[in-house]
Chain A
Amino acid sequence: MESITPQLYALLVFMIVGSVIAIETRNLLSAVISVSAVGFALSVAFLFLGAPDIAITQLVVEVLVLIILIRGTILIDNTAIETHRDTLAVVSSLIFFGLLLGFGAMIFASEGFPEFGEPLMRVSKVYVQTGLPATYAANIVTAVILDFRAYDTLGEATVLFASILGALALLRRDGKVSRREVATA
């Protein structure tokens, strides 16, 4: 775990810079591409951390989301953002970051936090030890998400189902009546 930490810090700095560019840029297309760059860096970070399952899923979903978002942004004619940010948002986000850093420093100073790369293994020890004999699935991630925690996966599938249903209901053309037609009827 010691040897890969510099690479992880480099990826972390790249992701933070990408996020700041995505927030600060005035062009909507540049913001979308910056967000995707952050996502791709995150999938490389998952590979360094030894999680190829998550890396594959992150990479594939990132490609799909990039295509969908680019299509969504080029639908709009004017992609430049011209409104300025109000001061309340800046002040509240500064307060939030101050609280986050303060509490983080308190937690790390109290030594109640496990070292990086040495997580608490209370529940996951059972999964790792009994995963293969109990489920016969060589991939421990699949054993966890489809056997030990299949109920979570059902919830995730339900969320995706409901969101696609809502998107299709909002974007449909059949049976949609414009406000003008309602007013004249």
Chain B
Amino acid sequence: MKGMTLIVRTITDFVVGFIVVFGTYIVLYGHLTPGGGFAGGVIIACAFILLLLAHGKEVAFSKLGENTAHFLDSAGALVFLLLGWVGMSAGWFFMNTLPRGEQFSLFSSGMILPANIAIAFKVGSSLFLAFSALAIFRRRSFRAVIEEELT
């Protein structure tokens, strides 16, 4: 797929950084303000999807490659599972054993901050993968695929 017009591409270059920063804020402050790993991960994925729509496949995949996205997807899920086992070593599954820190500060509430970050990586990269699968699929037209399957 080709990119869109010059206007769309210029605005996209201007806006993508802000979207990623906002998504990172939503993830990191998930335990203090509304938001969390899921919403922040989807926002970051939307930034990359905007790149994919405006600039085309090559630019978006040079920023976040398919294999990298696969790796981050699996790594996020595994880190989240690992946090559960860290709690298991101290008592029960997902026990909050890490140091709590100071109330209402960024590095507080033990396991919740790393779990938010892991979920953000997992959700963001997997949704980007789902959209990029559609973009790759579009190389052949839908009708050609259907006719090939039917004959």
Considering the complex, give the chain B residue whose CB is closest to the CB of A53.
B34
**A binding-site residues for B, Cβ under 8 Å:** 52-53, 55-57, 60-61, 63-64, 67-68, 71-72, 75-77, 132, 134-139, 141-143, 145-147, 150-151, 153-154, 157-158, 160-161, 164, 167-168, 171-173, 178-180
Residues 11-51 (chain B) with a chain A CB within 8 angstroms: 26, 30-39, 42-43, 45-46, 49
Q: Known interface pairs A146-B111, A147-B111. Does A68 touch B26 (Cβ–Cβ under 8 Å)?
A: no
- Interface residue total, chain B, C-beta cutoff 8 A: 59
- A68-B137 Cα distance, complex, nearest whole Å: 13
List the 5 closest A-B pairs by CB distance, nearest first.
A150-B94, A52-B34, A137-B31, A137-B109, A136-B109
Contact B96 A135 (CB under 8 A): yes
Among the listed A60, A139, A147, which residue makes an inter-chain contact with B32, where contact means beta carbons less than 8 Å apart? A139
Contact A135 B110 (CB under 8 A): yes
Contact A56 B49 (CB under 8 A): no
Contact B142 A75 (CB under 8 A): yes
When each residue 37-81 of chain B gets 1 if its CB lies under 8 Å from chain A and 0 otherwise, what string results?
111001101100100010000000000000000000110010011
Contact A167 B133 (CB under 8 A): yes
9 pairs, CB–CB < 8 Å, chain A vs chain B: A75-B134, A135-B100, A139-B34, A142-B116, A143-B112, A146-B31, A167-B130, A171-B136, A173-B139
Contact B126 A143 (CB under 8 A): no
- A75-B141 Cα distance, complex, nearest whole Å: 7
Considering the complex, give the chain B residue whose CB is closest to the CB of A147.
B96
- A63-B30 Cα distance, complex, nearest whole Å: 20
Judged by a CB distance under 8 angstroms, whether B5 is at the interface is no
Q: Known interface pairs A64-B42, A164-B126. Does A180 touch B151 (Cβ–Cβ under 8 Å)?
A: yes
